[in-house]
Amino acid sequence: MNWYGFQREELSVLKKLKTPEKIQYFLDYEVGYNKEPDGETCRSPRRVIRDRLAHCAEGAFFAAGALRFLGHEPLIVDLVAVRDDDHLLAVFREHGHWGAIAKSNYAGLRYREPVYRNVRELVMSYYEHYYNPAGEKTLREFSKPVNLKRFDRENWMTTEEDLWGVCEYFCGIAHSRVMPLHIERTRRRMDNRLYDAGLVGAVK
Q: Which has the higher per-residue pLDDT, 204 or 111?
A: 111
Reply yes or no on whether the pLDDT at 39 is more than 70.
Answer: no
Closest CA to 88 of 46, 159, 27: 27
Amino acid type, 150: R
The CATH number given to 8-198 is: 3.10.620
Choose among 138, 137, 146: nearest CA to 167. Answer: 146
User: Distance of CA 192 to CAs 43, 147, 189, Å?
Assistant: 34, 37, 9
Percent of the chain with pLDDT over 90: 89
pLDDT at 94: 97
Tell me which DSSP letter residue 157 carries.
Answer: T
**Residue spans per domain, the chain:** 8-198
